[in-house]
Amino acid sequence: MERVIVTAVIDERERETDARASLAELKSLVTTAGGTVMATATQNRPAPDVSTYVGKGKAEEIQTLVEEWEADVVVVNGELSPRQGQSLTARTTARVIDRTQLILDIFADRARTKEGRIQVELAQLTYLLPRLRGQGESLSRLGAGIGTRGPGETKLETDRRHIRGRMDELKKDLRRIRKHRSTIREQKDRLNQPQFTLVGYTNSGKTTLLNALTNEDALAEDLLFATLDPLTRGLRLPSGLSARVSDTVGFIRGLPTTLIAAFRATLEEVTDADILIHVIDATSPEAESEKQTVLQLLNELGAGEIPVITVMNKAETLDEGTVPIVNVDRPWLYVSAKEHHHIGDLHRVMEDELSKQMAFYAIHIPASNGRLLHTIRQTTLVQSETFDEEKEMYKLEGYAFEGHPQVERLKKEGQEP
């Protein structure tokens, strides 16, 4: 496990609680990446130094800490310009990386699918391309430690034209994947399966909630960015309606713009949703600011108008006096994904919100047509079902998406009462 010194420039106008939360988050990111924070060096100033990020005196202090703790890496809580990165690297014997590179490093370690690996490499190359000048010494150390996972030495030591060519190849691969995903989505749409997508701040419990909703066992870890690749599971709601629920990568304040751009194909799971389930860690003292970060990123992705159910998760650890105040619109509810508390309530809220996007129907189905009856039960929200023994017909009332093929056909055949 590598020894890490974390450092930050704190804006004098920044709230102390915000600064502490951001620094604590950086330390969690270091832990997720496999490092141990040995010491912290902060500096209050109006803005980072344009040359060295921190002042020259603070840079000397950082090097003293590196020697004292025999540190391997210095992690900066911000994004370094190429000039700042080169200057700070020249003043310390440890590797110097910034918050963006650390997040990209975690993503590189956690990407499992071909799509995820392509997106991570593209994001890393986009980040590193303007920083190639003066990278010779640091590149010679790639391949061993935090901030070194991903493209590797051989790719980055080639000229810029070769790197841009590699980026073009990756973009083409992503376009092919995007087209394939679009085809799959169209096929699913024809099945009239509603799409729910879990969104939220990293480590808010989205994957644990996915497991609770679907009775599955996807890997859920108490680490930042435990889920990177998109994960979709089937779900049967109380009415019998078959739906899909997708897990997504957790959001975080200061999520690199290169990462948002590269992962846009994956994040289409968000924009394609009928309803978003916004999972908030109800025990987090920063729940309100984390909520705002998620809402801001949803707006950037073009998903700001999609209906949202807000879930205050981890309620099993809450006392009445410690419940944080989070301003959210209805519908919202407290749940414990870990203990499966109030999951049934959430299922019912999901149905209620879906019905607002559907049209009411009342239809009759002959008892002899069991296949059609099964289809209606699985693809619509059946609210009531009665059997007329004299006519040997089932009467169903409920809600279906506009244009539902079987419901529309029954209406045209005059079987609507």
Binding residues for Mg(2+): 207, 227
Pick from 331, 241, 325: nearest CA to 278:
331
Both structure tokens of 186: 């169209």
Contact 26, 6 (CB under 8 A): yes
Number of helices followed by number of strands (H, E) in the chain: 15, 13
Contacts of residue 362, defined as CB under 8 A and 6 or more positions apart, other chains included, come to 395, 396, 397, 416, 417
Contact 212, 340 (CB under 8 A): yes
Q: Which residues are annotated as a binding site?
A: 200-207, 225-229, 247-250, 336-338
Both structure tokens of 229: 């690749």
Q: Which residues are annotated as a binding site for GTP?
A: 200-207, 225-229, 247-250, 336-338
What is the distance between the alpha carbons of residues 3 and 7, in angstroms, rounded to a whole number? Answer: 13
Tell me whether the omega of the peptide bond preceding residue 82 falls within 30 degrees of 0, making it cis. Answer: no
What is the distance between the alpha carbons of residues 278 and 332, in angstroms, rounded to a whole number? Answer: 9
DSSP string across 315-381? GGG--GGG------PSSEEE-BTTTTBTHHHHHHHHHHHHHTTSEEEEEEEETT-HHHHHHHHHHSE
